[in-house]
Structure 1
Amino acid sequence: MPDKLKTLQERKGRIVAEQRALIDKAETENTRSFTAEERTAFDLHDADIQDLDRQIRFLQREEADKRAVAEATEKVEAEKRNQASESQAETAHAQAFDAFLRYGFADLDEAEKRALGEFQKAVESGANSRAQSAASGAAGGYLVPREFSRELEVALKAYGGMLELGRIWGTGTGATVDWPTVDDTGVKGRILTAGSDATPGSTDLGFGNKTFGAYTYTSDVIKVDNALVQDSDFDLGALITEAMGIRFGRIQNEHYTKGTGVNQPEGVVTSAGVFNTGVAATVITADNLLDLLHSVNRAYRRNAKYTLNDLTLAAVRKLKDSQGRYIWQMGDITKGSPDTIWGYQYIVNDDLADIAASAKTVGFGDFSRYIIRNVAQPLITRLTERFAEYNQTAYVGFMRTDARLLNAGAVKFLQHAAA
């Protein structure tokens, strides 16, 4: 193709040279006009140049298309190679991590040590920070494999509702982050009367920010008999994942629900709005739940859900509307439709209060405005000496997290009257 383009370009160059020769000849002979014969020759040259230009453009487009296809193909192949390489690296890291859990860092071979180290560096590099470095390595422990992290998240969700309700935000480091917020739901424009000299209002947007830190949670010691640790057929990772999921899940869900915000995450109940109009001290009614729904601005109802504990749900399932219909309706799991209260999905959270005087029992709103910040991968350390006399190996997990509700108007909790 380049040879053909070169040939066409050379032909075009010769024709252009012949045209210029005709022009030069006319100019040297007292700037005369073309003769009829010269005009015909010049016009024929023009037609030849246009034809050559069309051929050149066609070949250039064809060449560009081929390059684009080749580049796209190479990109796809490169992505496949990268994915294969990443998959191999993740597999190597998972195997090395399992060996670390069973035998400790000192007994790993060089390839396993390298796999652990390379994963640490990749996570730290992705975070564009060395913040994790102080907590990693043979002394501090090792970041868990991504599959382990995903399984841990599933386990965490099983022990509380807030991870299902909130929006999970992963960050590479635990550096303090300010999240800007704005609330303009109570402000609206107005009409200016024709001919009026009234000046437009100047209500400012309700700007603010929420500051996210990173509180370190520990699973405390998880002891495992060495007979199980050394049994290659025993899924040691699954045991540790389940234990960490239970321990982290319970304390984190408690804090995400009713944390004070002082040296711990700020719980959604702590920061959300309150609805208490017509709510009795120890009774909940269908109208209470409907009024709670309508107390939340419609802007937040599109993605809204209810949340309540299991005992409160049992009471709500008995409630009927004014037409004698139950406000709780069973969904259809074959169609992916959830059970509902007043037509809205709900999530059970047993860290919410039971029905009692002054208690905040049922929440409603857009819980995706509750942001749960998780930092990087969880970390696990292995303790071999401490429990050696009991023929046990111990593990301790660490996670860093924080949580905040961005807008108190997005969620409200029904609060019962005082006794």
Structure 2
Amino acid sequence: MTIKEMIEKRAKLIKDARALITAAQTEARSMTDEENVQYDKMFKEADELRTNIEREQRQREAERELEELAGEGEERGAAAGGDRGEQRGRADLLMEAFRGFLTTGQPTGDGAEEFRNLAAGVNTEGGFLVVPETFVNLLIKAMDDEVIIRQLANVIPMTSSASIGMPTLDSDMGDADWTVELGTGGEDDQMRLGKRIMRPHPMAKRIKVSQQLLRTAALSPETLVRQRMAYKFGVTQEKSYLLGNGDRKPLGLFVASPDGIPTSRDVSEDNTSTAVTAMGLISAKYSLKAGYWSKANWLFHRDVMKQIAKLTDNEGQFIWRESMRDGEPDRLLGRPSRMSEFAPNTLAASQYVGILGDFSHYWIIDSLIMQIQRLTELYAETGQIGFIGRYEGDGQPVLAEAFTRIKLGA
């Protein structure tokens, strides 16, 4: 099924699901058990189609990038001239050597010597190495695709310092005074400046890959390693960007903190203790200054989004609109709505269930010291090779008023 066909099928499912709700509202009754089961089935299938659409889009983008990288290598090789080794780009040679390292433990090809020069702290268990530049870029891009917050946040590479400091305007000066031509206005001492500091925290993951798979797989070994590590690192990051407590990990959007988003940015008005309401979402939207609306996004778990998709305003119009264009998110009260599997989904009194905000005010720092350790002997008896990936980074909201958290009633 093509992307266009999947989009059309998803649109029909959502339309049919709405028809069930409209029929019940027209007859001034609640939906029957059978209708609820049918609605949930339609919404689940529509959500699966959304996932498949996004997966296909990511796959096409990854293939396009690989083609571009291959083209750049050929162009560099053609420009260099000379023998076969000179005709290939430096990145291609390093990648060939890296494939050999992942497969056999030894770099191979014309770039093997230069690759060895990149090795740092080699030991008897396989050694650490600084990953070739192309591999690092692919890994970071894959994490961007897997983790929704990274797509919306302000991501800052940090390659040389141990921390990053951000000046903050903790309190502003008062308004200016009308005065005479030579007057200077009253002295003001209300303005206060502060500083927030972010430091990269380490994260690691170990995976095992069959030696036979490394030798015979249709995908290249570094692609296999990249895909698995991108998933594991991406899941850990997504959880922390949403729910992390800030202790040796990022500070999450759904964690009340004076260093991030305090409880003063929580809105539960008009929501019940078990459900989000249309009026509650309207109250949340208007608790955010209009200046942030142009870049604001909603974020919910799909369980909460399923409930929201049934809501109508006082005119009987649905407040949620599905997207009909490839690559565009659905919209809620005029702003894009996003979903994350790791957003809160406990529909109980006083629980967080969503957030609206300009996510460019969530900052993520990446320390690009990416290391891979190859474990050869540890899993020799089972015919497997182990790989340990390491990443360092941090994240936190830096401007509380750019966000509004949606909370259920007490």
Q: Distance in 2 between matches of 1:289 and 1:302?
A: 17
Structure 1 distance, partners of 2:409, 2:122, is 48
Give the deviation of 1:282 after TM superposition: 0.9
- Note closer, same or farther for the CA distance 1:371–1:195 as it changes in structure 2 (3 Å cut): closer
- Structure 2 counterpart of 1:217, from 203, 214, 220: 203
RMSD: 3.1
Is 2:302–2:341's contact at 8 Å kept on the other side of the alignment? yes
- Residue 390 to residue 278, structure 1, CA distance change in 2 (3 Å): same
Does 2:155 align with 1:161?
no
Give the SS at the match of 1:223. strand
Give the percent of matched residue pairs that are identical in Structure 1 and Structure 2: 23
CA 1:305–1:188 in 2, change beyond 3 Å: closer, same or farther? farther
1:344 maps onto 2:329 in alignment: no
**Where does residue 253 of structure 1 map in the other structure?**
238
Match of 1:235 among 215, 220, 233: 220
In 2: Cα distance, 1:225 partner to 1:93 partner? 23
1:385 to 377, 384, 387: 377
* Alignment check: 8 A CA contact 1:228 1:234 kept: no
Structure 1 counterpart of 2:165: 178
Distance 1:215 1:174, change over 3 A: farther
Work out the CA distance in 2 between the residues paired with 1:136 and 1:209: 41
Q: Name 1:117's counterpart in structure 2.
A: 117
Mean CA deviation greater in 275-284 or 389-398: 275-284
Task: Pick the aligned partner of 2:348 from 340, 347, 356.
Answer: 356
The Cα shift of 1:258 comes to 1.1
Find the counterpart in structure 2 of residue 292 from structure 1: 284
Q: Give the 3-state SS of the residue equivalent to 1:168 in structure 2.
A: strand
After superposition, the C-alpha distances for 1:342-370 in whole angstroms (9 at most, x for unaligned) are 01012212211112222111111111010
**Residue equivalent to 2:90:** 89
Give the helix-richer structure, 1 or 2. 1
CA change 1:182–1:140 in 2 (3 A) is farther
Q: Aligned partners of 1:299 and 1:187: how far apart in 2? A: 20
Alignment of 1:189 onto 2:190: no
Which residue in the other structure is 1:31 paired with?
A: none
Query: Which residue of 250, 253, 277 maps to 1:268?
Result: 253
Residue 163 and residue 247 in structure 1: after superposition, are their counterparts in 2 closer, same or farther (change >3 A)?
A: same
Tell me how far apart the structure 2 counterparts of residues 264 and 314 of structure 1 sit (CA, whole Å): 31
Once the two structures are TM-superposed, the CA of residue 153 in structure 1 deviates from its matched residue by 3.2
Contact 1:274 1:415 in 2 (8 A): yes
SS at match of 1:290: helix
How big is the shift at 1:287?
Answer: 1.4
Query: Structure 2 vs 1, CA of residues 287 and 135 (structure 1 numbering), >3 Å: closer, same or farther?
Result: farther
Q: Which residue of 1 is the match for residue 40 of structure 2?
A: none
Structure showing greater Rg = 1
Structure-2 change in CA distance of 1:256 and 1:135 (3 Å):
farther
Q: CA deviation at 1:175?
A: 0.7
Residues 40-55 of structure 1 mapped to structure 2, 5 A cutoff: none
Aligned to 1:151: 138
TM-score w.r.t. length of structure 2: 0.70
Aligned twin of 2:39: none
Q: Does the 8 Å CA contact 2:177/2:186 hold for their aligned counterparts?
A: no
One-letter amino acid of the counterpart of residue 90, structure 2: A
SS of residue in 2 equivalent to 1:353: coil
C-alpha displacement of 1:83: 12
Q: Secondary structure at the match of 1:386?
A: coil
The answer to which of 362-371 and 170-179 deviates more is 170-179
Q: Aligned partners of 1:183 and 1:365: how far apart in 2?
A: 20
- Give how far 1:138 is off: 8.7
Question: In 2 relative to 1, CA 233–320 (structure 1 residues): closer, same or farther, beyond 3 Å?
Answer: closer
Secondary structure at 1:151's aligned position in 2?
helix
Cα contact 2:97–2:109 (8 A) shared by 1: no
Q: Which residue of 2 aligns with 1:368?
A: 360
Taking structure 1 as the reference length, the TM-score comes to: 0.69
3-state SS of the aligned residue for 2:157?
strand
Q: Deviations over 1:4-30 (max 9, x none)?
A: xxxxxxxxxxxxxxxxxxxxxxxxxxx
Secondary structure at 2:209 match in 1: strand
Q: Would you say the 8 A contact 2:128–2:374 is kept in 1?
A: yes
Name stretches of at least 5 consecutive residues in structure 1 with no aligned partner.
1-79, 121-132
In the TM superposition, what are the counterparts of 1:302-341 in structure 2 within 5 Å?
302-334=294-326, 337-341=328-332
- Given that residues 200 and 392 in structure 2 are in contact (C-alpha distance below 8 angstroms), is that contact kept between their aligned partners in structure 1? yes
Q: Deviations over 1:80-138 (max 9, x none)?
A: 97996798121111111111101113x646841413535x7xxxxxxxxxxxx669999
Aligned ranges 1:61-76 → 2 under 5 Å:
none
For residues 313 and 399 of structure 1, do their structure 2 counterparts lie closer, same or farther at Cα, with a shift above 3 Å needed?
Answer: same
TM-aligned CA deviation for residue 191 of structure 1 = 4.7
Q: How far has the Cα of 1:315 moved from its partner? A: 0.8
Shift of 1:416: 1.6
Q: Say if 1:195 and 1:209 are closer, same or farther in 2 by CA, change over 3 A.
A: closer
Q: Which amino acid aligns with 1:395?
A: F
Mean CA deviation greater in 392-401 or 150-159: 150-159
Q: CA deviation at 1:190?
A: 4.7
Partner of 2:59: none
Is residue 168–residue 371 contact of structure 1 (8 Å, CA) maintained in 2?
yes
Q: Which amino acid aligns with 2:372?
A: I
> How has the CA–CA distance of structure 1 residues 192 and 231 changed in structure 2, closer, same or farther, with 3 Å as cutoff?
same
Which deviations, in whole Å up to 9, do the C-alpha atoms of 1:43-94 show, x marking residues without a partner? Answer: xxxxxxxxxxxxxxxxxxxxxxxxxxxxxxxxxxxxx979967981211111
